[in-house]
Chains A and B, each alone.
Chain A
């Protein structure tokens, strides 16, 4: 069983196919993915509401597909409306924020207002986190909202090693390893730094080949129990504490 907490739906401006639902299903089969949580690439890089609408349509097409609503804190009122619009949808488990594309820092007041507004919903936040400054920003909101669970997308990217130490004291920050660089020891060090219960499986599919992270899990010298915790047990626990528990 595998639960992938970091997937995307939609086009990318690169030499690659635009994966429709059939190709997505074929990939989930090939990598034994039982549940996958998607966000819309269109919502991230362009119009969040148009992208979210398309994502909702996708989620209806396969039982394995779940979703994050992408919000753009530059549009604060519209972002709050967007969550209210889809909050009752059982396939929506959280919110995706991409500070590099929206150009709104993770600890910006607008972002905090969104989190504050939906404190009672148990929504999970997947936040693109690349570089030490973003990791520090993430710790600020994790400290301010200790009952909100945050997934640190990419574990800080190419400075993941330092970022693990930065987020270590915050039990409500989970780390997710996907990146173009499949460091052989990334998962072992992640487990040893923040604890096995805070390490999740995410791939960045459809942008990145799932082989990148499955290979990292399989080559890290992990026990079968550790692999199971990363592949699905930790995600199940996280989702059980979520809005659709």
Chain B
């Protein structure tokens, strides 16, 4: 079964001693014959553009890795022109980290950045959690055509996930924190599995755990395959 992980990263992890090297990420993905979206942690913790350049320089598609850009709206409008042609640079999506960087979804510079990104319809990945965050994202997603992949939804706001994905077709949910025992079955019953995208958080988090959430569920083999790769491919309109 093809596996594409929409949530990996590499580089130096400053919050505790951890092996989050590119080599470790490659080893993990290779051991599961998986491919992955990835970005340099430098872009999250230090400087987005320097991190994006590192992502483009260090990863190769031959390794099954696809580059993801990032931008920190706290720096807006510094280097804003960099994100105007991300597709041409080779990026498949752009990821934002409001919780790690301490800004809110309704932060005005973020809205300006989304407007720029709407010009080329690039998928927008947002790492966030907490009640109401997804609801705020849905207000933005309603006004643009970009797909939004939300990372960080868990048992506590699964109700918000169900409510939002039923209303908006450009909201996708990344799977690694769908942690209640029946989360996928619940989503199938009350919303849809068509916009659930596999992600792991590797190498900081356990790829095995994220995979087992899907494989050990009671979903059909087709439904598992869709989550593990096909839903993402359909969203992007390309085979990975």
Contact = CB atoms under 8 A, between A and B. Distances in A.
Interface of A: 12, 14-17, 19, 27, 30-31, 161, 180-185, 205-216, 218-219
Interface string B48-86: 000000000000000000000000000000000000000
Contacts of A15: 155, 158-159, 161-162, 180, 186, 190
A14 B208 contact: no
Nearest first, the 10 closest Cβ-Cβ pairs linking A and B are A215-B209, A211-B212, A182-B209, A219-B208, A215-B208, A15-B158, A15-B159, A182-B206, A16-B180, A161-B16
A45 to B, nearest CB: 14
Contact of B205 (A19, A30, A182, A206): A182
A16 B154 CA distance: 11
Most buried by A among B179, B182, B207, B209: B209
Number of chain B interface residues as a range: 20 to 34
Interface of B: 16-19, 154-156, 158-159, 161-162, 176-177, 179-183, 186, 190, 201-213, 216
Given A14-B155, A15-B186, A208 B205 contact: no
A209 B181 contact: yes
B213 A209 contact: yes
A7 to B, nearest CB: 11
Contact of B181 (A180, A183, A185, A208): A208
B132 to A, nearest CB: 15
21 contacts: A14-B155, A15-B180, A17-B182, A17-B186, A180-B154, A180-B177, A181-B177, A182-B176, A182-B201, A182-B205, A183-B206, A184-B205, A185-B19, A207-B180, A208-B155, A212-B179, A213-B209, A215-B209, A215-B212, A216-B209, A219-B207
A219 B156 CA distance: 26
Nearest to A208: B179
A182 B211 CA distance: 12
A185 B207 CA distance: 11
A184 B24 CA distance: 11
Nearest to B212: A211
Contacts of B212: 211, 214-215
A209 B177 CA distance: 10
B136 to A, nearest CB: 19
B10 to A, nearest CB: 13
A36 to B, nearest CB: 13
Nearest to A27: B181
A32 to B, nearest CB: 11
A208 to B, nearest CB: 5
Given A30-B216, A219-B206, 8 more contacts: A16-B181, A16-B183, A180-B155, A180-B179, A183-B18, A205-B181, A209-B181, A214-B209
Contacts of A208: 155, 179-181
